[in-house]
Amino acid sequence: MMSTKEVKTALKSAREAIKNKEFKEALKHCKAVLKIEKNNYNAWVFIGLAASELEQPDQAQTAYKKAVELEPEQLLAWQGLANLYEKTDQWDFKAELSNVYQKLVELYASSDKNKCYEMITKLSDIYQSDKEYSELAKVWQQLIQLKEEEGVEKKELLQLWQQMTHLLSECLNEEEQDNETQNHLITAFEKAMVLMDPVPGEKHRRTSADYVKCLSKLPHEEAKMKEACESMLSLYPSQSYPLEILCSHYLKTGIQDEDAFSCFSRLLDLAPNSGLGHLGLGTKALEEGRYKDAIKDLAQGLKKMSSSTGWYNLAQAQLKMHRYSDSATSCSQGLTVCVSGDVEQRVGLLKLRLEALVRSGGEKAADQALESFSQIPNAAKDPVLVALKGRAYLNKGQVDQALKVSSELLASDPNLAQGLALRGLGHLAEGQQQQAEQSFLKAAGQSPDCGEYYFLLGQLYWDMGEETRKDRGKVHTHLLKAAKLDPHLGCVFRYLGHYYREVANDHGRARGCYKKAFDLDNDDAESGAASVDLSMANEDMDTALAILQSVIEKATPGSAKWAWMRRGLYYLKVGNHQQAIADLQAALRADPEDWVCWECLGEAYLNRRSFTAALKAFGKAHQLQPSSIYSVYQAAAIKQTLGKFKEAVAEYLQITAQQDYVPALKGLGECQLSLAKSLMEDSRDGGAIDLIQQAIQNLFKAAELRPDLSCLWKLLGDACTAASTVSPNRAQVQVPAPLAGVDPLTQSHMMNQAQTVKVGERCYARALKLMPEVPSLWYDLGLNYYHQASLCCPTEVDQNSPSLLLEKAQQCLKKAIMMDSGNHYYWNSLGVISMSKGLENFALAQHCFIKSIQVESSNVVAWTNLGTLYLKKDNIELAHEAFKIAQSLEPLYVNCWIGQALIAERVGSYDTMDLFRHTTELSTHMEGVKGYAYWVCSTLLDKSNRDSELYRYNIVQMNAISAAQVALSKYTERIQSDPDAFIMLGYLNEHLQLKRQALQAYQRAVELLQSMSSTEQLAFAQGSYGRALCFSCQCEEAVNIYNSTPLQELSDLTGLALAYCRAGLIPESVNAYERALAMATSEKEKAYILTALALLQHRQGNIDSAKTLLFKCSMLKEPISESLLCLCALGLVNNDTTLATAALSELLKQGSSSGSVVEQRCLLTCTLLALQGNYSAVQREASRAVHSNPGNASLWALLSRVVPQYYPRKANGGAMAGHVSCLSSMTQGKRALLYSGVNQLASGRHSGEHKHRNALKTMQKAVMLCPDDPATWAGLIAACHTENTSCYLSGSAPCRKGLEQTLMSVVSEKVRTVEEIERPLAQSLEGWVLQQAVTGLMLGGQLEQAEALCSQVLNVSPEHPAVMLSLRQVQCQRLLVGNDGGTVLPDSVLEQLSKTVMMNPTNLGAWHVSG
């Protein structure tokens, strides 16, 4: 055996091996020791250390534990064991680590304080992580005790106690709390606060807050918590936290004593926005029955902090205030924040939500209520909840189900008030009011303190009819009792308001009840509206506006329609239109289908003068409510204001067709009168009289309905007086018999112009009788007298003489001026009347005009009238100045321009015609029209000024003839007794080639002059009338008219000769021309007459005599180009090129001539060249003429005409020439368009080459412009043939087949209407068209139709060689086609074909067929 010394040596060797990290060697030494000494402490410790280093934790643990067993009070093994457990990550090691630390703490406590503190810290960490707060508290207490024994400073002890509070505070969050630990925690807080310095101080305050918070989490420490809070408040009175803790405690426990109220109040004093404070006060108010305050405080508190109890209390308060929807919402919010474990709170919220949803009504809410019912445990066993379920069925409309529920409830408890009420509501839903009454009475008997049942009875009695309403013992009594029992039930006060307003007629109480109802329920629109309406009716606008303002401020977009609308109407009433529009628009956002609101909005727009917007608003109102007359009327009135009289008339008629609505009748009459005046301005008197007649009828109908309205009689007077403007023979007006003063049994009476205006006088008198102090009526009456005087058709000399009527007019105007001297119209009209013929008080007139100007300086009418007065008194300078001022004030006022034109005419200014023309451009004024027409006709009669710049500007450039003719037509429509005007109109119509209109004008002039004594003027008119008859081919009548004249004028004799000629009376014509020749005074006149005689001789076949006369004419001193033209034409017709050349040479020597002569010269030259066979020169001559006169459209047309016939190679140029002619002159362009199409045909231009510029398009345009010209239709058929041929050549199907026969028939129809002189050419054209049609049919393979067409024409014209040739061509073609490709024709056919060819020897096609 090893000795003790050897053991020591082995242990020493083991220690050295461990030191050298030779752990296995160390193990060997230790094992050797243990063989000798099994309980050797150090050997086991060394084994544990070596095994630990060799990562043999289990062996190490065993070794250490063996050592501990051997020497439990020795540190070395415990330290090794601690190191092993700390080092090794095994759960079982970690679990034992705390025990090891605890032992070490005990061992170090007496030996090494620092190591002891270290072990305590490690042990504390373990307990804290394992949440062993009780052990943790003990360890910390042990630590603090050691520190105290050690005598550490107060500051260090404070830190330790504070650390202990922080560590132990976490235990308060645990579900299972240990009272011992809590006591340690309280002790720690108390020790810490005792050690703190200073007091009060920030650290002390924070620790006190933590202490209070800690106590608040300990229910059994309520007294200590209150004491701590009060202590903290005494030290820190401005701190709200202790109050918050106390308030939270009171709210949680439901304590609502004085201390609690004081606490809530103190908290709100310190923190006005404290949620706890508001919740506490709200809960207190709820308990005390102050529901409105409760809702306010609870809602404010819940904004800051969400609490299921708070939501529950708020829902209760809202339910008590009958804000059911809000209550249901609050319950939903409470359920959202309610913790899952609080079952009682959740059930309470569900029950409250069920009741709120049921009472809020509506099917959706009923569904939600039934869902809530299903979520309440054992709800079916609660009769109150079941009754609510039955009411939910009622809200869904399931009456039978509800009655079933009530029956079940009453079966179990017949006296259940809720069941009785449910049954009553079910009966009420079925209309069984008596049964409902009995049920409600029983329910009220069972629950006499329930105001709802009394309200249901009162409501039932109100709905039962007029009789029960008046029974105070029923409606009134029950409603009052309901209001007493439940003063928060707003609907009770609403029905009380109905009672006081409709039955008791006590509007003061009614308004109070309505206001009370609305205060209780701001969503009660009916009560709010009634309260506002009664306040406004009582002129209490402030109260009404306050109510409306309160509603609008709270309203969301699209709500509170009634408030927006009423405030809008209020603003509309007081004239704040912009605000009214904004409010009414807001009302419409709530209900876009409210037609009344649309009408109100339209009214607001109308008052703001936003007419377009108002029209849309009234249109929308009418769309929503078609039976509303007001919206249609307002729309019509707006259109009337905007001057859209026709549209307004249509809408007014829409109203009057339904009923005799006086405003509509008045507006209709006004519009018709305005339309009549506009027509009269345009001289359309016939239409104007029709409208005046309609206006009188409608206005009189309105006056019959409301004879007390002065405005209707005034408008009737205006309508009757308006007839004074039109032509007298047009002014035949049907006036209602009572208005005309005839037998009232007759419906209407026809009156002339003077009688109609006289009726206007009576109407004004009737208006004045109703309103004698209105100056405008005296003014209208004065103008009526003035118009009567101007008509001057007296029936009673004494009463209706013009002078007497003018005096009456003057007196009326003076009366108007006395009443209103500041009206410039009155002064001006008095001046006009005073200077009228019959009074001619020029001094007074001048005074009146000057006064009118003084009253209104920019008075253009008065300045013009003053200028007219000066002009009448021959004061040219003053007249010019007055007219000039008027022009500067209003350049568009036509009368001042007429005055200047008259002055220019007097002084002989060149601007006269231009001034008169300007007046016609401004408007149609009779004086200006006649003046302009006179100057146009005078300029046209002067043949010497054709090339002057003045003529080109005034006549040509300004289109004077057309303008004067249009204006003069209006003049003669109005003034039909002026023969001069009709003569000028006839003359202008002749220039415009309006033969029929010229004939009518001359005829009217002759008719007027025959009743006058002016024989010279009559002769002139008859001569013009005869000329017009002659040009209209009424030659025999022309002869008669001419013979009725004295025949003292050369023009009359030449006109008679022409009429004889055209009538076919050649000898009489020759005789008349010879008489004219004897009367002629100038060489030119003789030349023209000789030329005419030569033409007559040629017509009689006396060619030599014609030549002699033409040669004689050319030998005169003043030869005329017309005679040379005739001589040249004579040579061309007779193929006498020598004569034609000589005449043309003389004609060219005359130099420049008029445009028409240039055209004739060019045409004759081209004809002569063609006759000579010089075809290329024809085109050159036409081109030369165009270059010399590029502005002459006729020459361009001639060039386009000759090119395809004589020089087709330049057909493109010919087409362009025709296009230029079209652009230059529409008159020439119509014919030139045909020539352009022919050129395109000649050049082969079809749609395949150009889609738009081709022959077909051009010919279509020509047909549109000249549908009566057979040549255009012929061109169209040729263009169609070209298109079809193009299609055949390209291999495509033709698009215009089958048109040949149709177009052929059109051409034949047009040929029959041409004049006799053009008939041969037209027939030749018809033959060509036939050949074209036959060719087209043959090309299309329609041989039978072609043969039928030829046969049809031959039946009418059997000896037509061209048609016969076409027929033979078709027949030969058919034979060749039917011969199966053979080419031999029978001899008989060939013989017939030969005869036909010999009949057309000049036809190339004929010889081609024969060949």
d(CA 1092, CA 1069): 10
- Alpha helix segments (H runs only) across 682-709: 685-705
Coarse DSSP helix, strand, coil percentages of the chain, rounded to the nearest 5 percent: 80, 0, 20
Contact 421, 392 (CB under 8 A): no
Contact 286, 294 (CB under 8 A): yes
d(CA 894, CA 734): 33
d(CA 1232, CA 1238): 10
pLDDT score, position 763: 93
| Spatial CB neighbours of 87, under 8 Å, sequence gap ≥ 6 | 52
| Spatial CB neighbours of 1000, under 8 Å, sequence gap ≥ 6 | none
Q: Is the pLDDT of residue 1410 over 60?
A: no
- Alpha helix segments (H runs only) across 1115-1154: 1121-1133, 1137-1149
- Nearest one of 588, 565, 586, 569 to 577, comparing CA atoms: 569
3-class state of residue 594 by DSSP: coil
Model confidence at 998, pLDDT cuts 50, 70, 90, reads: confident
Sign of the torsion angle spanned by Cα atoms 557, 563, 566, 568: negative
d(CA 943, CA 1220): 29
Sign of the torsion angle spanned by Cα atoms 391, 396, 399, 405: negative
3-class state of residue 189 by DSSP: helix
Mean pLDDT, the chain, integer: 82
Model confidence at 85, pLDDT cuts 50, 70, 90, reads: confident
Model confidence at 1394, pLDDT cuts 50, 70, 90, reads: low
| Spatial CB neighbours of 952, under 8 Å, sequence gap ≥ 6 | none
pLDDT score, position 481: 92
Q: Is the pLDDT of residue 1357 over 60?
A: no
Which pLDDT tens digit goes with each residue over 305-321?
888 888 988 999 988 88
Residues facing 748 on adjacent strands: 736
Which pLDDT tens digit goes with each residue over 653-695?
988 988 888 999 999 999 999 999 988 888 888 888 999 999 9
Both structure tokens of 1355:
């039946």
Rounded to a whole number of angstroms, the distance between the first and last alpha carbons of the chain is: 166
Which pLDDT tens digit goes with each residue over 1204-1261?
888 888 888 888 888 888 887 766 666 778 888 888 888 888 777 777 778 888 888 8
pLDDT score, position 1379: 54
Model confidence at 744, pLDDT cuts 50, 70, 90, reads: low
| Spatial CB neighbours of 1117, under 8 Å, sequence gap ≥ 6 | 1083
- Nearest one of 832, 720, 830, 741 to 784, comparing CA atoms: 720
Q: Which of 187-201, 821-835, 1021-1035 has the lowest mean pLDDT?
A: 187-201
pLDDT score, position 1077: 82
Per-residue three-class SS string for 454-514:
HHHHHHHHHHCCHHHHHCCCCHHHHHHHHHHHCCCCHHHHHHHHHHHHHHCCCHHHHHHHH
Q: Which of 406-420, 882-896, 906-920, 1314-1328 has the lowest mean pLDDT?
A: 1314-1328
- Alpha helix segments (H runs only) across 751-841: 753-770, 775-791, 797-800, 802-819, 824-834
710 CB-contact burial (10 Å; exposed 0-12 / middle 13-18 / buried 19+): middle
C-alpha gyration radius of the chain: 61
Which pLDDT tens digit goes with each residue over 470-507?
887 888 898 899 999 889 888 889 989 998 888 888 98
d(CA 298, CA 447): 30
Max mean pLDDT among 166-175, 785-794, 803-812, 1097-1106 falls in: 803-812
Long-range contacts formed by 1236-1241: CB under 8 A, 24+ apart: 1236/1200, 1237/1262, 1237/1275, 1237/1279, 1238/1204, 1238/1214, 1238/1275, 1239/1200, 1239/1203, 1239/1204, 1239/1211, 1239/1212, 1239/1213, 1239/1214, 1239/1215, 1240/1211, 1240/1215, 1241/1204, 1241/1275, 1241/1278, 1241/1279, 1241/1282
Per DSSP, the residues of 427-448 read HHHTT-HHHHHHHHHHHHHH-T
142-to-108, 161, 369 alpha-carbon distances in Å: 13, 12, 62
Contact 928, 920 (CB under 8 A): yes
- Quickly tell me which residue has 């309280």 as its tokens: 186
Average the pLDDT over 1294-1321 and give the result: 71
Which pLDDT tens digit goes with each residue over 1192-1208?
888 888 888 888 888 88
pLDDT score, position 820: 92
Model confidence at 699, pLDDT cuts 50, 70, 90, reads: very high
Q: Which of 41-55, 233-247, 821-835, 1096-1110 has the lowest mean pLDDT?
A: 233-247
Q: Give Cα 554 distance to the centre of its chain.
A: 32
332-to-256, 275, 354, 470, 503 alpha-carbon distances in Å: 26, 20, 11, 44, 43
| CB-CB neighbours of 209 under 10 Å | 17
Q: Is the pLDDT of residue 549 over 50?
A: yes
d(CA 645, CA 1158): 55
d(CA 1165, CA 1184): 11
Per DSSP, the residues of 985-1023 read HHHHHHHTT-HHHHHHHHHHHHHHHHTSS-HHHHHHHHH
Q: Which of 3-7, 205-209, 410-414, 563-567 has the lowest mean pLDDT?
A: 3-7
pLDDT score, position 86: 77
pLDDT score, position 794: 46
Which H or E element spans position 748? strand 748-751
Compute the C-alpha angle 1393/1396/1399, nearest 5°: 155
pLDDT score, position 828: 92
| CB-CB neighbours of 280 under 10 Å | 29
Which pLDDT tens digit goes with each residue over 1144-1195?
777 777 755 555 677 777 888 888 888 888 888 888 888 888 888 888 888 8
Both structure tokens of 260:
């609690």
Residues facing 749 on adjacent strands: 735
| CB-CB neighbours of 993 under 10 Å | 10
Contact 919, 894 (CB under 8 A): yes
Which pLDDT tens digit goes with each residue over 401-438?
988 988 988 888 888 888 899 899 998 888 898 998 89
- Nearest one of 1361, 1370, 1351, 1372 to 1396, comparing CA atoms: 1361
1354-to-1130, 1388, 1395, 1399 alpha-carbon distances in Å: 36, 20, 16, 15
